[in-house]
Amino acid sequence: MERKIAIITGASSGFGFLSAISLAKQGYTVYATMRNLEKAVMYEEDHIPIEIRDLIHIHQLDVTDESSVQELKDLVSSIGRADVLVNNAGFAGGGFCEEITIQEYRTQFETNVFGVMAVTQAVLPVMREQGFGKIINMSSISGRVGFPGVSPYVSSKFALEGYSESLRLEMKPYGVQVALIEPGSFKTNIWSSGKQVSEKSQQPSSPYASYMERINKHLDESKDDMGDPQDVADLIVLLAQQNELKKLRYPVGKGVGFMLKLKKWLPWNKWEREILKRL
């Protein structure tokens, strides 16, 4: 029986790395893509069985580079099959709206939005022609709820949510299914090495310095409550193996469901107070 093919972007750490391992354990041939191939050393660790490693193929991919995406498209065309695409590559841009440059916003969107669009376009022709496939886009609770100090990240995830709605409606008649995973706070590097704060907002002279300090303190105090990223990887495997993705959105993480309900039902002034009193 022909092995199913999974393609994962941003597979050098966090959700991407764990989902690559988890899908390989389920018998998928996994193309784990990443911008920096030096980080592929993670796949050589002793705790990963050799039979799992043999199912994982490392591929260099910069989702913001047109020629790199074209190489991926050529690879998928040569394979002739794509069962699952996990659009996971991304980073978190932070700072305050007054101080973040437009170029910094553009850089955020290049990866989190346009990168997803480019990779999806590279894989869609094969999925459409074969009449099946699943596209799983890694969004965030920040794609449904805006938070202060991270407007580039929030904006990019809101955009991803809208794109995914349209994509799902377009592709459903062709047998290609689309889903959004919306994680809350998990123990990944998204808020450490994966976070890029605008230079102006890092300066002690910034008028928002004390506000930024409160936000960072809140993040530090929340670390113990962050979830296990394997839970997200397990959800990716679950969605990959389902015959039908009946929902578009899959929130995951401690308190995420409650927060979404609260935002839906609370008047804005009360919701605003609820967010700001935590900082």
Interatomic CA distance for residues 34 and 140, integer angstroms: 20
53, 29 contact by CB (below 8 A):
no
Our measurement of the distance from residue 13's CA atom to the centroid of its chain's CA atoms, rounded to an integer in Å, reads 12
Residue 213 tokens, joined: 């300090």
Our measurement of the distance from residue 188's CA atom to the centroid of its chain's CA atoms, rounded to an integer in Å, reads 11
Residue 12 tokens, joined: 């050098």
Interatomic CA distance for residues 2 and 81, integer angstroms: 10
Integer angstrom CA distances of residue 152 from 59, 77, 143, 220, 239: 28, 34, 11, 20, 28
Catalytic residues, which ones? Answer: 153
Q: Backbone phi, then psi, for 132, in 5-degree steps?
A: -160, 165
Interatomic CA distance for residues 183 and 19, integer angstroms: 14
